[in-house]
């Protein structure tokens, strides 16, 4: 048994897995990793199931200490400098923290979220089949909230050593974020052209609930208050001020604003990793094409273990 | 937000529960639409659409499975007096009118256990507040526009606060975790401060506190 102590946790750092499903009808949102691909990559490296819980680490400097024995870990996701003392730690490659080692992740330079997977079994209790933190609902394990300084993550059945394994990082895709038409798409009229032809910036006030987009104001044929209906990950709703908000993993399960589009599941993680102030564009594709991309994304997830070789 | 559309949503939801379609992950009934979450690796969009549309034309499942709850409320809300004044009535009359109807739980959403209720007495319908509150207490009982709400968790709200219930529609350490189903019905019962304190202590320990009438 070994422990990972949180010395410095920035905001947006929490335990996440693939999320909890089945209770959205009661208002409980799935939560789960913002970037499924990077979560799966970290898990594959330490030979965990692809959707196992790991530490989702926000973009600011974050520090951990290993306590009570070696921890074999893998770090994926955002591009950033990680080190134990003066020794750099690799991304997409396993490494070992000895008892007392300090692991420091400097602020992310590209991307937002990192994933730290630790070989062994995270001690905690799944709720609706998930460890994912949903602070508003008071759910998540071992802490029902984002990680704070001094928190202890305990791992059981930790191996003393694991092979030095390297993964060819999966290609993330580039270009416009692809969307399908949203449930109230038709009511936006000419504003749909504005939406697709304009560059958008992600607001710094974004979080796991929603990413605010800054750009031209969109107009809507009807009222900006619709009869509330259900939401999905990547729903792009437009509030009364004409500014879109993309609903992320901690979204409300229902919403009363019209939704112009939905980010396809295959591009959701790439969008989630887009930094505030970064400019991006949206491109529309059909539902059949989006489902083809979903199948390709699933195949990419499943191929991750095969992208690993022993060093 | 007519009752008919809402009932059709629940009818389709029940049909899908009774005769599941492989590939559907979960459903979210709302006022006038049913959100169907499905796995595109198992089920294509057009096949699912066809099957759902075919089910829509079927008569609804026999029998109404909804339950009727009596929910105690301590009417100490910050907006009780203002809302009463706005309708030219006494707070007692407002409370009387609020606690008389049998409300339909039209939808549960936004946050865990937040129940949107249909059936508010039109005489006390009140436009939402111009300035939403950043924080409202757990168990808040409120009205906004023509709707009433039973809120579980503390959180922001732009609705008018009439009181609080000790009932927790969502309690992670209780079995059942969620008390009320979309489609159930609710009647409020006025209680005093002492009863509220007593029931709230029981609710924290995991008792349901709400009474199942039928």
Q: What is the DSSP string of B156-169?
A: EE-SEEEEE-S--S
The CA distance from A158 to A160, in Å, is 7
* Domain annotation covers residue B61: no
Q: Which residue is closest to A144 within chain B, CA to CA?
A: B172
Q: Which domains does chain A have, with CATH numbers?
A: 2-162 (no CATH), 177-302 (2.40.100.10)
User: CA of B164 to nearest chain A CA: how many angstroms apart?
Assistant: 19
Average pLDDT over residues A58-76: 96
Q: Given a cut of 70, is residue A244 above it in pLDDT?
A: yes
Domain match, B131 and B44 both: no
Distance of CA A274 to the CA centre of its chain: 11
Domain match, B124 and B75 both: yes
Could you tell me if A37 and A254 are in contact, meaning their C-beta atoms sit under 8 angstroms apart? no
Domain match, B81 and B147 both: yes
pLDDT tens, B94-147?
999 999 999 999 999 989 999 999 999 999 999 988 888 989 999 999 999 999
Average pLDDT over residues A194-220: 95
Q: How far is CA A29 from CA A253, B28, B157, in A?
A: 6, 11, 19
At A224, the pLDDT band (50, 70, 90 cuts) reads: low
* Domain annotation covers residue B74: yes
At B1, the pLDDT band (50, 70, 90 cuts) reads: confident
Domain match, B46 and B137 both: no
Q: Which of A23, A27, A226, A250 to mutate against chain B (most B CBs within 10 Å)? A: A27
User: CA of A15 to nearest chain B CA: how many angstroms apart?
Assistant: 18
What pLDDT was estimated at residue A173?
80
Tokens encoding B160: 């008018």
Mean pLDDT computed over every residue of chain A: 95
Mean pLDDT computed over every residue of chain B: 94
User: CA of A29 to nearest chain B CA: how many angstroms apart?
Assistant: 8
Q: How far is CA A197 from CA A172, A193, A194, A273, B50, in A?
A: 23, 6, 5, 22, 34
pLDDT tens, A139-178?
999 999 999 999 999 999 999 889 999 999 988 788 999 9
Domain match, B78 and B42 both: no
**Residue located via tokens 């993309």:** A246
Domain match, B48 and B104 both: no
pLDDT tens, A256-311?
889 999 999 999 999 999 999 999 999 999 999 999 999 999 999 999 999 999 98
Residues spanned by the domain of B32: 3-56
The residue that leads in pLDDT, B75 or B131, is B75
Q: Of the ranges A121-125, A190-194, B39-43, B53-57, which one carries the lowest mean pLDDT score?
A: B53-57
pTM value > 0.90? yes
Average pLDDT over residues B160-173: 96
Residues A137, B114: C-beta atoms closer than 8 Å: no
Name the nearest CA neighbour of A96 among A59, A124, A69.
Answer: A69
- What CATH number should be reported for the domain holding residue B52? 3.30.1360.40
Q: Given a cut of 90, is residue B56 above it in pLDDT?
A: no
- What CATH number should be reported for the domain holding residue B159? 2.40.100.10
Domain match, B146 and B116 both: yes
Query: How many other C-beta atoms lie within 10 A of the C-beta of residue A283?
Result: 11
* Domain annotation covers residue B63: no
Q: Which residue is closest to B13 within chain A, CA to CA?
A: A25
Q: Given a cut of 70, is residue A179 above it in pLDDT?
A: yes
Element (H, E) at B191: strand B185-191
Is the preceding omega at residue A142 within 30 degrees of 0, hence cis? Answer: yes
What pLDDT was estimated at residue A174?
86
Asked which of B13, B35, B56 is the last residue of a domain, the reply is: B56
Domain match, B35 and B132 both: no
Percent above pLDDT 90 for chain A? 89
Could you tell me if B124 and B136 are in contact, meaning their C-beta atoms sit under 8 angstroms apart? no
Domain match, B131 and B87 both: yes
Q: Which residue is closest to B1 within chain A, CA to CA?
A: A227
pLDDT tens, A32-60?
999 999 999 999 999 999 999 999 999 99
* Domain annotation covers residue B45: yes
pLDDT tens, B10-30?
999 999 999 999 999 999 999
Residues A232, B113: C-beta atoms closer than 8 Å: no
Domain match, B103 and B202 both: yes
Domain match, B32 and B126 both: no
What are residue A51's phi and psi, to 5 degrees? -105, 20
User: CA of A228 to nearest chain B CA: how many angstroms apart?
Assistant: 7
Residues B28, A294: C-beta atoms closer than 8 Å: no
What pLDDT was estimated at residue A172?
74
Which residues in chain B have Cβ-Cβ distances shorter than 8 Å to A145? none
Which residues in chain A have Cβ-Cβ distances shorter than 8 Å to B41? 294-295, 298
At B43, the pLDDT band (50, 70, 90 cuts) reads: very high
Number of domains in chain B: 2
Domain match, B92 and B113 both: yes
Q: Given a cut of 90, is residue B64 above it in pLDDT?
A: no
Tokens encoding A240: 């009364």
* Domain annotation covers residue B62: no
């Amino acid at each position: 048994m070994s422990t990972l102590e949180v010395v410095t946790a920035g905001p947006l750092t929490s335990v996440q897995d693939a999320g909890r499903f089945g209770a959205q009808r009661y208002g409980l949102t799935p939560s789960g990793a913002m970037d499924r691909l990077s979560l799966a990559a970290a898990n594959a490296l330490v030979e965990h199931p692809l959707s196992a819980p790991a530490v989702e680490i926000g973009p600011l400097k974050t520090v951990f200490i290993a306590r009570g024995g070696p921890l074999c870990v893998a770090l994926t996701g955002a591009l950033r400098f990680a080190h134990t003392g003066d020794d750099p730690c690799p991304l997409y490659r396993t490494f070992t923290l000895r008892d007392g080692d300090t692991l420091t992740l400097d602020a992310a330079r590209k991307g937002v979220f990192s994933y730290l997977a630790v070989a062994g079994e995270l001690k905690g209790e799944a709720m609706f089949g998930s460890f994912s933190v949903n602070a508003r609902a008071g759910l998540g394990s071992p802490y029902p909230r984002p990680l704070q300084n001094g928190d202890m993550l305990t791992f059981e059945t930790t191996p003393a050593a694991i092979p030095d394994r390297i993964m060819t990082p999966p290609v993330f895709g580039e270009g416009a974020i692809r969307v399908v038409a949203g449930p109230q798409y038709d009511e936006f009229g000419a504003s749909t052209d504005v939406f697709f032809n304009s560059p958008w910036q992600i607001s710094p006030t974004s979080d796991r609930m929603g990413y605010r987009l800054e750009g031209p104001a969109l107009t809507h044929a009807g009222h900006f208050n619709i009869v509330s209906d259900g939401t999905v990950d990547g729903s792009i709703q437009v509030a009364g001020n004409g500014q879109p908000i993309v609903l992320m993993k901690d979204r409300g399960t229902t919403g009363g604003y019209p939704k112009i589009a939905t980010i396809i599941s295959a591009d959701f993680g790439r969008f989630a990793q887009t930094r505030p102030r970064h400019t991006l564009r949206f491109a529309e594709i059909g539902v059949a094409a989006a489902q083809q991309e979903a199948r390709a994304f699933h195949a990419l997830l499943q191929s991750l273990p095969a992208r690993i070789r022993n060093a | 937000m007519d009752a008919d559309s809402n009932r059709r949503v629940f009818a389709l939801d029940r049909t899908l529960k009774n005769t599941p379609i492989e590939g559907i992950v979960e459903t979210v009934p709302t006022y006038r639409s049913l959100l169907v979450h499905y796995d595109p690796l198992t089920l294509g969009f057009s096949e699912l659409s066809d099957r759902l549309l075919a089910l829509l034309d079927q008569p609804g499942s026999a029998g109404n499975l909804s339950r009727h709850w009596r929910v105690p409320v301590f009417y100490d809300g910050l907006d009780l007096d203002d809302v009463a004044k706005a309708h030219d009535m006494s707070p007692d009359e407002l409370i009387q009118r609020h606690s008389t109807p049998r409300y339909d739980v039209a939808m549960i959403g936004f946050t865990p256990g937040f129940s949107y209720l249909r059936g508010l007495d039109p005489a006390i319908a009140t436009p939402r507040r111009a300035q939403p509150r950043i924080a409202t207490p757990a168990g808040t009982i409120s009205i906004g526009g023509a709707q009433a709400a039973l809120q579980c968790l503390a959180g922001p709200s732009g609705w008018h606060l009439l009181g609080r219930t000790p009932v927790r529609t969502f309690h992670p350490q209780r079995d059942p975790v969620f008390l009320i189903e979309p489609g159930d019905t609710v009647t409020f019962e006025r209680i005093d401060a002492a009863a509220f304190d007593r029931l709230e202590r029981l609710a924290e320990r995991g008792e349901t506190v709400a009474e199942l009438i039928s």
